[in-house]
A and B are shown apart, each in its own frame.
Chain A
Amino acid sequence: DGGITQSPKYLFRKEGQNVTLSCEQNLNHDAMYWYRQDPGQGLRLIYYSQIVNDFQKGDIAEGYSVSREKKESFPLTVTSAQKNPTAFYLCASSIQPIGYTFGSGTRLTVV
Chain B
Amino acid sequence: DQQVKQNSPSLSVQEGRISILNCDYTNSMFDYFLWYKKYPAEGPTFLISISSIKDKNEDGRFTVFLNKSAKHLSLHIVPSQPGDSAVYFCVSSNTGKLIFGQGTTLQVKP
Size class of the contact patch on chain B? 20 to 34
* Residue contact B45 to A97, C-beta cutoff 8 Å: no
The majority secondary structure among interface residues of chain A is strand
Contacting B at CB under 8 A, from A44-67, are: 44-45, 48, 50
Residues of A within 8 A of B36 (CB): 102
A24 CB, nearest partner CB in chain B, Å = 14
* Residue contact A102 to B32, C-beta cutoff 8 Å: no
Knowing A42-B89, A43-B100, A100-B98, the reply to whether A90 touches B44 (Cβ < 8 A) is: yes
* Residue contact A48 to B93, C-beta cutoff 8 Å: no
* Residue contact A92 to B43, C-beta cutoff 8 Å: yes
* Residue contact A105 to B42, C-beta cutoff 8 Å: yes
* Residue contact B102 to A41, C-beta cutoff 8 Å: yes
Rounded to whole angstroms, the CA-CA distance of A101 and B32 in the bound complex is 16
Partner of A42, one of B31, B46, B101: B101
Residues of A within 8 A of B32 (CB): 97-98
Rounded to whole angstroms, the CA-CA distance of A105 and B96 in the bound complex is 21
Q: Is A2 an interface residue (CB 8 A)?
A: no
Rounded to whole angstroms, the CA-CA distance of A102 and B91 in the bound complex is 14
Q: Is B41 an interface residue (CB 8 A)?
A: yes
Residues of B within 8 A of A101 (CB): 46
Q: Is A78 an interface residue (CB 8 A)?
A: no
Q: Enumerate chain A interface residues (CB-CB to B < 8 A).
A: 4, 6, 9, 31, 33, 35, 40-45, 48, 50, 88, 90, 92, 94, 96-98, 100-105, 107
3 closest A-B pairs by beta carbon, nearest first, are A102-B43, A42-B100, A43-B100
Known pairs A88-B41, A102-B36, A103-B43 / 12 extra A-B pairs, C-beta < 8 Å: A40-B102, A42-B99, A42-B102, A43-B44, A44-B100, A48-B97, A90-B44, A96-B96, A98-B32, A98-B46, A100-B46, A102-B44
